[in-house]
A and B are shown apart, each in its own frame.
Chain A
Amino acid sequence: MGVHTIRAGVLAGGLLFPVWSMADWALNMPQGVTDTSQEIFSLHMTILWICVVIGIVVFGVMFWSILAHRKSEGHEPAHFHENTTVEILWTIIPFIILVVMAIPATATLIDMYDTEESDLDIRVTGYQWKWRYDYINDDFGYFSNMATPLDEIYNRDDKGENYLLEVDNPLVIPAGKKVRLLLTANDVIHSWWVPEFGVKKDAIPGFINETWTRVDEPGIYRGQCTELCGRNHGFMPVVVKVVPQEEYDAWVVEQVAAAETERQLTQKDWTLDELMARGEQVYNTACAACHQPDGSGAPPAFPALKGSAIVTEDIPAHLDRVVNGVSGTAMQAFGPQLSEVDLAAVITYERNAWGNNTGEMVTPMQVFEYKSQQ
């Protein structure tokens, strides 16, 4: 080997090394942490090996012909063009292989469909572009939004370790328990996927789909929405935190109490500044995806709120748009999604932010009355 070759090799290696060392070059499906995911993994490997073996045989014959039976080698063509025995054989053998493959696949599928006898039921609702988790047995629920800042997405900041796969409030479930998930959607079709669990199921408006999982290993597991659901489809991660039973129980008590305090906040006397501060937070998690952080929207799909007539003048219309949404458009009814306090805060915020300075304030009690009149 000449010096040049070695130099070229070192140079290429040096150039490629940074790329090579960046991340994990994962080649295969994760084995996962549930029985389901492991069964799926073994089906995947079986069928993969079947394909590899068939591939070696077929391509083997083919490459051998390509090398040996070429005209330039002086090979004379044979003239056969039929052979009933071979033709029957290569119809029957693949058929048998497939039957053998179908048996374990059927067993796994039956298992995946068995949602009976769960220890815990959680309703998962897909929204454009966030998930809501409702703990049906304990009567509380919350939204789960992506937590990756825009600065990272637009390359103004370094990307964190869990870039695009991090949320504000993960789904929390107890380890070792059979959790049944009831999936539906509020607007378009979404799909809830955690690869490590081997669970993927579509969340469809008007339907309730069922699936289940049992995770023994506590930890944090990440996935994404896998059904195209509009602009921010790539930005609606799924994060599940699996905790030991005791920790889970304590967490539930905390959540129930927090839901109660939240309800009491409606009674409190709020100042404009307090509402503005809270409103800004609500706005950035619930509204900014469409109307943009600076209220400029993305017309014509998403109208600007800055300077909008409804937002600067007509309070009842503003309440109506936010509480009831505009049916047939991406503007959802936020009445059922947000608490009275959050609704009041976000409306107040919109009426005073970005130079909309109306000085007007909408209180949680006003929202409460507006909602009860309907």
Chain B
Amino acid sequence: MSAVIDTHAQDHHHGPAKGITRWLYTTNHKDIGTMYLVFSFAMFLLGGTMAMVIRAELFQPGLQIVEPEFFNQMTTMHGLIMVFGAVMPAFVGLANWMLPMMIGAPDMALPRMNNWSFWLLPCAFLILVSTLFMSGGAPNFGWTFYAPLSTTYGPPSTTFFIFAVHIMGVSSIMGAINVIATILNLRAPGMTLMKMPLFVWTWLITAFLLIAVMPVLAGVVTMMLMDINFGTSFFNAAGGGDPVLFQHVFWFFGHPEVYIMILPAFGAVSHIIPAFARKPLFGYASMVYAVGAIALLSFVVWAHHMFTVGVPLAGELFFMYATMLIAVPTGVKVFNWVATMFRGAMTFEAPMLFAVAFVILFTIGGFSGLMLAIAPADFQYHDTYFVVAHFHYVLVPGAIFGIFASAYFWLPKWTGNMYDETLAKTHFWLSFVGMNLAFFPMHFLGLAGMPRRIPDYALQFADFNMVSSIGAFMFGATQLLFLFIVVKCARGGEKAPAKPWDGAEGLEWTLPSPAPYHTFTTPPEVK
């Protein structure tokens, strides 16, 4: 008996393997988390480069840099890479690193599957990016790939795109199963559901959303595959099919998808604001219920993306009311964050700066979302730059700022070193100004009548487009600074204590910094 325990003890003390095999074969949640984060940042830079191409072409009216075909490929790939390559993997990376440490578990519940779900991703994106070099070019039908533009009229590379989406989907579903298994089975004794940190809660709910909708995405691309290669007519009107069916199925996936990209950020911010306000989170229970309500409602609002499609009046009204309703739990969350800050003792290190900007700018995105929910008004907003402004306000300062805030917050725990605060603050301010300069004018452009997904525009839109492009270049260039800061921090710097932030709470801060390769091999007791 004692011999068995001994070998175990030794097991736990071995460090990572050496060289490339460490990364290829690893089942360690921290290694896998790191790989997810690195991958996602690489994709963020790639998708960002494409955004720079878009903004460079839109700098002035007229066609200067790229042809319309290539422009369409850029918008499509930019959207797909940002959504599936940058934001989603970043949150899975954070989940890998933090969930076990937050719930007092030694690792994820299914470590081998964890390795597999990561390594599928580079394969999927290799396929997706390789379509740029195929004859006929990459997908050019928008990240929403509406049929029949993407089926009957799609480029030959569409089949590869479908394959890539399938692989990403498999990866996401496995990741989600892993998250659920971990949270439900590996919590430290005493950690009841209503004692779980919010990041754990939001990820649990996100994982259920993923399992519910990724198969729907797989279904819709499979129908496309059949239409393209096997002569079916799901979406081909000439063969008795229905192009609108595509949109219903796509958005049944698509709307929950946008919450998949924001809920984990809600969770992270709910850790960061209390830490720097030195005051417990206001309304923990209502935060949990609000996330639950948002997740449930997200299944019954999909047709708000289709107000101009010709949905019958009753349907139109239903989806308008349901969408307006989502504003209520979202509002509750914002109020709670503000109430947490209220009468705290705040300091503004980089994580807090990003978190506060998150609350402000995400709320602005929420406001334009509320405007878009008003169906009659959406007839004017739909498919214009107003929508582009809206979703970038929820995605860039929402998802992306949430990720930056988390990264700065937990970098000391990951690397054992403090990051360079001055540089991080510079990163914040340049991002903040660049982001607003890039995306705020898009509201005006959309209201004035500029459609989205166009490579060239009428002269009255010239001024704001130029401003927007300048902001975009500024935002884009600034992200290289983030790379520098992280590399610098990983390589050395002021040593971080176990708990570098006064007000931070949670099991992860009971561990030394950097967190050892294996943690919580015996579960801690939660009271």
Contacts and interface: CB of A to CB of B under 8 A. Distances in A.
Interface of A: 19-20, 22-30, 37, 39-40, 43-44, 47-48, 51, 54-55, 58-59, 61-62, 65-66, 69-72, 75-83, 86-87, 90-91, 94-95, 98, 101-102, 105-106, 108-110, 112-113, 128, 152-155, 159, 161-165, 187-189, 191, 193, 195, 198-202, 204-207, 209-210, 223-235, 298, 300-301, 327-330
B348 to A, nearest CB: 8
A164 B379 contact: no
Nearest to A20: B463
5 contacts: A70-B347, A72-B347, A154-B63, A164-B61, A209-B310
A69 B136 contact: no
A189 B380 contact: no
B389 interface: no
A92 B458 CA distance: 45
B384 A226 contact: yes
Contacts of A328: 152
B297 interface: no
Contact of A98 (B285, B325, B376, B453): B325
Nearest to B290: A91
B198 interface: no
Nearest to A25: B463
Contact of A51 (B277, B321, B370): B370
A327 B239 CA distance: 11
A246 to B, nearest CB: 31
A72 B348 CA distance: 10
Given A24-B448, A71-B278, A230-B72, 8 more contacts: A40-B380, A62-B341, A75-B346, A109-B316, A152-B62, A204-B243, A207-B310, A226-B383
B431 to A, nearest CB: 19
Contacts of A301: 69, 136-137, 155
Contact of A62 (B148, B338, B367): B338
Interface residues of B, number: 100
A113 B313 contact: yes
B308 A189 contact: no
B3 interface: no
Contacts of B142: 228
B360 A59 contact: yes
Given A30-B449, A106-B317, A234-B68, A187 B279 contact: no
B283 A87 contact: yes
A78 B331 contact: no
A27 B447 contact: yes
Contacts of B61: 159, 163-164
Given A43-B374, A202-B308, A94 B341 contact: no
Given A226-B383, A231-B69, A205 B345 contact: no
Given A25-B464, A81-B279, A230-B149, A98 B328 contact: yes
Interface string B222-243: 0000000000000001100111
A52 B281 CA distance: 26
Given A79-B279, A198-B380, A23 B459 contact: yes
A23 to B, nearest CB: 5
Nearest to A48: B371
Contacts of A229: 149
B282 interface: yes
A71 B72 contact: no
In the A-B complex, the 6 residue pairs with the smallest Cβ-Cβ separation, listed nearest first, are A206-B237, A234-B454, A51-B367, A26-B448, A78-B343, A226-B383
B375 A61 contact: no
A4 B360 CA distance: 36
Interface string B446-462: 01110111111111111
Contacts of A48: 371
A191 to B, nearest CB: 6
Interface string B333-354: 0110011111111111000000
B456 A234 contact: yes
Given A86-B339, A209-B310, A24 B460 contact: yes
A22 to B, nearest CB: 6
A87 B332 contact: yes
A230 B308 contact: no
Contacts of A79: 279-280
Contact of B153 (A47, A62, A199, A330): A330
B298 to A, nearest CB: 17
B313 A28 contact: no
Contacts of B242: 206
Contacts of B310: 201-202, 204, 207, 209-210
A26 B374 contact: no
Nearest to A210: B310
B411 to A, nearest CB: 22
Contacts of B119: none
Contacts of A54: 367
